[in-house]
Amino acid sequence: MKFKDLRTLALVQAPARSVSERLERSCFSVEDVRRIAARRLPKGIFDYMEGGGEDEASLRRNQEAYSDWSFVPRWGSVANLDVSSSLLGGPASMPLYLAPTGGTRLFHPEGEIAVALAAQKAGLPFGLAGLSNTPMEAVSAAAPSLRRFFNFSLTTDKGLLQALVDRAASAGYEGLIINVDCRAIGHRERDYRNGFTAPPSIRGKTVIEGALHPRWTLRFLANDAIAFPNLSGEVSTGPLTSTPDMWRSLLAGSYEPTDWRDIEDLRERWRGPIIVKGCVSADDALVAAGIGIDAVQVSNHGGRQLDHMAAPLDVLPEIVDKAAGRVEIIVDGGIRRGTDVVKALALGADACAIGRPYLYGVAAAGQAGVEHVLNLFRAEITRTMMLLGVTSIKELRTRGRDLLRHRSDVLGLQARPTSTHI
């Protein structure tokens, strides 16, 4: 066994009181936290978190796209450097928000509560997935000062849709995040090969993996059953239950057509901010802006839906150019470093969103793991801006393109159209 494997194993087995300190001493990047998550979780559970659609080409490209851009630092004072930002009219301690992810209690019994508490402590917004395992009301009660948004896919059941919206408003959710990339469920072949189901079912592979990961198994068995309590418009008062049909209906919009008119109707009925998530088309961003949507989240669902869908960073400059400041732009997908965040903002994004990185954290060490991941991002964003010679997020976005070179420029090829500023 290699030394780094021994070090990781020691962290996995560490007592709870020393987890934060051991994370600081042993995990110097999101990738280090990812390795611990991989050791803690049964293969089928980890692959559910990690995997993408079909051949996973989009999944790979999401990260590769960031390597196509290089920094061009400038000399100058970096006194009073400030990474604080804003999103949709409210504060964010850095230009980051925690994107909605479903089934979080599969990875750790604290689930969404751990993530919400970490986001609240860090001063960052949090998007709660409709497919969360924790009721939206419980998240509000646990983290009352958290800026929180509720996420779901459109459904043709107007009664259910209105009930969900009313319930989110009653629970104090500031805004809505509407998926527009879930008209069908992506073909995630890792899950099929692993025999993965949610909630997990008992079968041969499940039993073997459970035996190989006793700590996860004991925690899983000792806690409430996995369920999806936000799938109806009613607050659950009894045991949390869900059915595959309920899950499938909410995830895939009831498999019936919805279009921009449904989003426009929702815009008329919801007074708070709305984010349209899953947009990679500049024309769609313009439509969203035209009907009063507050932000578009440039996303391909982490490569989990349509394979070979454009990587968000690859289409970001075109969307920024065409949107021309009419709508806020958030980008996700493949972000693993503070340098990735800085590159996206230099290309015109208003903020970035992360999903898998904080899931690695929650799987590795619950709330402490998420806090550590967020601290890594803050340190990396700060260090990158200092080395670039910029002192604020506004300056970063204003100077933008002057701080970057695309690999096609370096190779002497025709550079892609890019934006310098929005």
Instruction: List all residues 6 or more positions away from 129 whose beta carbon is below 8 Å from its beta carbon.
Output: 100, 101, 102, 104, 151, 230
CB atoms within 10 A of CB 76: 11
> Angle at which helices 312-323 and 338-346 pack, to 10 degrees?
30
Instruction: List all residues 6 or more positions away from 20 whose beta carbon is below 8 Å from its beta carbon.
Output: 365, 368, 371, 372
**In Å, how far from its chain's centre is CA 105?**
15
Does the annotation count 301 as an active-site position?
yes
From the candidates 108, 187, 213, 301, which is the catalytic residue? 301
| Residue 128: closest CA among 95, 175, 91, 170 | 175
Written as six digits, the tokens of 345 are 């903002």
- Cis peptide bond prior to 199, omega within 30° of 0: yes
Region at 111 (left for phi over 0; alpha for psi -120 to 50; beta for the rest) = left
| Residue 128: closest CA among 165, 99, 160 | 99
Catalytic machinery residues: 301
